[in-house]
Structure 1
């Protein structure tokens, strides 16, 4: 793998993880929302990745193929005094699991940081190679 290809591969991963972090942030922001006027509550979203070839030496990067909505039912809480309660007195909240989203956020953040570190290391190696050529 060429040194320049390392930037393409890590750059694709940084971009994908950035999109994953944005999706997690949206999910967490809507974790305690209730169903809207249409009766539908917020559905958690998950980022789907796919490996993509990069360069001519068999290296592969990553890209986001889709952002999929989780179709499981939202959490229902009996609260007849809530303004969004249905006829039976239940309020439907989003199906976001805050604990799972926090784990997802930590994983995405670490992946992002690791790929930034790979790019910084490759940059340092390239700079040292150029300095050796100047001597």
Structure 2
């Protein structure tokens, strides 16, 4: 039972870490401009599923947002086309920051569970030694 709790919390740690990685990638590329003919940076979404073989969750993969992005009129930008447009990703910073907070708290909760279960296991070992 104790090891199941550590294993389940471990899957949560891995899943939240990968979610944090995707979010940091999205935030880092929010201002990445390309020419209008090129696809924009595509927002990363982490796909999570229940594990059929063991308790917990796992990252089944990632999905990508639209390569269409948004066109912005910036005639002085070095990547601007003849009409003065550049393409940016269509990523909402507020949404990314909200998800970042949720992913951080989920990671912290899973790490806290690992610590509490480890402490309980150590206490049980101490009782057994007495």
TM-score by length of 2: 0.91
Consecutive unaligned residues in structure 2, runs of 5 or more: none
Change (3 A) 1:115 1:54: farther
Q: In the alignment, which residue of structure 2 is the partner of 1:62?
A: 57
Q: In the alignment, which residue of structure 2 is the partner of 1:24?
A: 23
Contact preservation (8 Å) 2:40, 2:67: no
Change (3 A) 1:37 1:29: same
Matches for 1:1-135 after TM superposition, within 5 Å: 2-35=1-34, 39-53=38-52, 55=54, 60-71=55-66, 73-135=68-130
Question: Offset at 1:36?
Answer: 5.5
Mapped to 2, the partners of 1:106 and 1:95 lie a distance apart of 20
Q: Secondary structure of 2:72's match?
A: strand
Question: Offset at 1:54?
Answer: 5.2
Consecutive unaligned residues in structure 1, runs of 5 or more: none
Q: Which runs of 4+ in 1 moved over 3 A?
A: none
RMSD of Structure 2 on Structure 1 (CA): 1.7
How many residue pairs get aligned? The number is 130
TM-score by length of 1: 0.88
Contact preservation (8 Å) 1:77, 1:92: yes
Question: Offset at 1:53?
Answer: 3.7
